[in-house]
Structure 1
Amino acid sequence: MTTETPYTEDDLRAEAAAQHAVLTEDPDFMGVGEQMDDDIVTSTETDGGGRTWSELLPYEADGGEAYNSAQRKVHDLIRGAADVSEWAVNLGADGLEPDGHTLQLGIDPGDGDQPRVRLHFAFAPDMTDADRDRFVMRLGRAITGHL
């Protein structure tokens, strides 16, 4: 089989996944703080906006200690995040969009209520929220019915 290029679509996806992984491997600490500065803190969001990190943790209040502590925690979460680069690249290339649906299985109360398995979902953009909900609920019932 001949192609117009000496590489395949899989080659492109593999390279994109490798570069994506490198970007999150060791994020720039100062860049994390700069990005946080004007981002709205999710728990403060309202219809009219919300408070940014710099508003929530003003430098003047404590010489930046609270802000710097939050910045370190965000940085550590990024560095400790699972490498889902290949998954993310393939989702985008396939035109799927990740969504907030998850299915958690095997939760062990003795293990801090941590799931043993968590499934994350990505759907075609034209799937309605109701169809997405229905799919996840039916899959969950099907799986738990066979465990």
Structure 2
Amino acid sequence: MTDQPARPYTDDDLRAEAARQHSHLTDRPSFDTVGDLMTGQEVTPDGGVDWDDFRDETFSAAQQSVHALITGAADVSEWAVNLGADGLQPSDQQLHIGDNRVRIHFAFAPDMTEVDRRDFVALIASAVITGA
């Protein structure tokens, strides 16, 4: 049996490349692509209304708004890749601090109970409020 050479790259190298590609794949989608991806999608899940049920000018205004939100979004590719690589799941729980000047999002291990997740967020919120 021959010895395999050591990998010439690290896990950090893999994560960095994944983050670079994730950023590239999500950067600046075309206006037409945004509209194409909206077509046939429900406005509100189980609401019975699709985006393409609206009149052309209403759909176009919504398409422009969605495109602006996407192109103005923060590049969190590195965070997203690292969360996935660490096996963490994003949570809907978040804290807003100082008139929305700081927002903290949370991600938890899949085996952490919902009660433990809420308790952790409450603990962080308490520490922020009391300065502990």
The two structures have a TM-score, normalised by structure 1, of 0.80
Alignment match, 1:86: 78
Q: Which runs of 5+ in 2 are unaligned?
A: none
How far residue 24 of structure 1 moved from its aligned partner, in angstroms, is 2.3
Q: What are the Cα deviations for residues 43-102 of structure 1, in whole angstroms up to 9, with x where unaligned? A: xx34xx5322112x1xxx4xx111111111101100000010000000000000111111
In structure 2, distance between residues paired with 1:73 and 1:16: 28
How far residue 3 of structure 1 moved from its aligned partner, in angstroms, is 6.6
- Structure 2 SS opposite 1:90: helix
Runs of 4+ in 1 over 6 A off after TM superposition: none
Whether 2:123 is the aligned partner of 1:130: answer: no
Root mean square deviation, CA, Å: 1.8
Code of the aligned partner of 1:28: S
How far residue 28 of structure 1 moved from its aligned partner, in angstroms, is 2.1
In structure 2, distance between residues paired with 1:86 and 1:3: 29
Q: Percent identity?
A: 53
The two structures have a TM-score, normalised by structure 2, of 0.89
Q: Which moved more, 1:84-93 or 1:135-144?
A: 135-144
1:53-92 matched pairs, under 5 angstroms: 53-55=51-53, 57=54, 61=55, 64-92=56-84
Aligned with 2:104 (options 107, 111, 119): 119
Q: Which runs of 5+ in 1 are unaligned?
A: 108-114
Code of the aligned partner of 1:117: V
Alignment match, 1:13: 15
Aligned residues: 129
